[in-house]
Structures are given as C-alpha cells and as structure tokens.
Amino acid sequence: MEKLAVLDALAGLAQETRLDIYRLLVPAGAAGLAAGRIAQALGLPAATLSFHLAHLRQAGLVGLRREGRSLIYAADYAAMNGLIAFLAENCCGRPACAPACDPLPASESRMRTPYNVLFLCTGNSARSILAESLLNHLGGGRFRAFSAGSFPSGAVRPEALALLREQGLPTEGLRSKSWNEFAAPGAPEMDFVFTVCDQAAGETCPLWPGHPVTAHWGIPDPAGATGSQAVVMLGFRAAARALETRIRLFLALPVETLDPLALRRETARIGQSRVGEQA
C-alpha cells in the first residue's frame, strides 16, 4: 500500500463516527450491511451516515453495491490488510510486537470452548431444530448449539421430534423461540450464526453481541411437503441428511487456527454445497 493511500485511510478513520461505522462493517464480512441497518445500529440520521460513508469510500476503506432498493456497504478487506501490512512492515518479531504482524488476529471468542453456534430459520420448528440436535450430538462437547426463528411458530414439528428420537438424537429442551432471545443482554454470546432457510437469510437479523461468523446454509423446507405421512417424513430425512453433511464438514474445520475471514469463507463454502439434499 502506498504511503499516500495509507494517509488517506488513517485520515478516514480519524473520526469517532467513521471509526464506529468501520468497526461495525468489518465483522459483517463481504455480505456487508444495508445503510438503514447501520443507521439503526449506531443511532445516526441518514444525512450524517451518508456523509461519513462517503468519506470512508473516498479513503478506499469501504465499497458500495446496490441490491434491489437497498444500498449495501462492505469493508474493503484488501485495503484493510494493506494498511495493517504497511504499519507492520518493520515489525521486529519480538513478542510485544507480534500481534501487530497478524493482519487478522483471531477474536477473543475463538479462544474459548465450547464454541456457541446458533441456527436460524423462520419458524424454528423443523430445520433449525434438527441442526441444533445434530450439532449437540456430533460436536463432542467442542460446540454448543442453539436454534431460534425470526417468526417462531411456537411449536416444534412432531415429525422433527419423531425423526430425532428414531435416530437416537437429543430432544430435551428443544422449543420454538424468537431470535431476540439471543440478542438480549445476558444471552450466550455466539461464535457462529447459520441461517438454514432462504427467508430468514433475507431478513434483517438482530445485531449479535460479539460479532459472530455468519453463513447461509439453505435447506429445502421439509414442513412444506404434502402427501402421506411417509412422503412428509422423506422430506424431513432429506433435510436431516443435508444438515448432517454440512455439520460434519464444519466440524472438520480447524476453527482454532483459522482467522475470522477464513472462517467466513469456509463456512460460506459449506453452505454452497448441494450434497445430501435430495431425498
């Protein structure tokens, strides 16, 4: 990164509101955040937000794209890494200096286990429930799974519970609940948040404490199957197989050694796989 670009970047961040905006965008990943959500999170008027975002874009720290009627802003990670690399160029390698040499240090949440994982869907009655039980069973104590919904149905689908019992998976404590429970003060801090239905992925989620790694693992809704009970259960079994495949891929990741950007990339890649989604 050239010195003039470094000076522009540092000048762009040398203001409290712009620094707050940038720190909010960094953990949002390549998906970024809509302008309205940034304004809501930081309590900023639209005109003020627009002024500061323009400064960050001019400094080369933030990119902009349009999705439908929304303006989406995202941190430019190449610029961020270039800035950090420039500042650490003459790092001596001594212990006191070493943290500055790591362009993307693992967050403090990566240091604790078990890792908390939240699965989200709209009703929190089928897919997210299956994922919660599967990860708690397969995670071997290394991961602790939860689930919630944007508009919870209030009841877990009996087919989901029947399938879990049939496979000897845990059902104790499973319930349909709102995702707001996990954004409230005192809630368990999440390390990972995965959406398992397309509708929930398109909704504006709460701002999770701790800036967890997020990814979309869309699975066809087994609750939408029609026909005999046997046909409906085939849909639930297909969803469970797809979730198990992705969860096993996730469990194989070296979570302890990957930086947050790498974790976002790898968990997003898992969500793009189509393995096991056919009945």
197 is catalytic: yes
205 is catalytic: yes
- The rounded Cα 88 to chain-centroid distance in angstroms is 29
In the set 91, 92, 97, 205, the catalytic residue is: 205
DSSP track, 29-81? GGG-EEHHHHHHHHT--HHHHHHHHHHHHHTTSEEEEEETTEEEEEE-HHHHH
121 is catalytic: yes
Q: Is 172 contained in some domain?
A: yes
pLDDT tens string, the chain, 279 residues long: the values are 788 888 999 999 999 999 999 988 887 777 888 998 898 888 899 999 999 999 999 999 999 999 888 899 999 888 888 888 788 765 544 444 444 444 444 444 444 679 999 999 999 999 999 999 999 999 989 999 999 999 999 999 999 999 999 999 999 999 999 999 998 888 999 999 999 987 655 556 666 777 789 999 998 888 777 778 888 899 999 999 999 999 999 999 999 888 887 888 899 999 987 655 433
Domain that holds residue 91: 3-101
Q: Is 219 contained in some domain?
A: yes
Same-domain pairing of 241 and 143: yes
Same-domain pairing of 259 and 123: yes
In the set 91, 92, 97, 121, the catalytic residue is: 121
Same-domain pairing of 85 and 128: no
DSSP track, 162-186? HHHHHTT---TT----BGGGGTSTT
Listed residues 34, 66, 101: the one ending a domain: 101
Same-domain pairing of 94 and 131: no
Q: Is 268 contained in some domain?
A: yes
Same-domain pairing of 135 and 229: yes
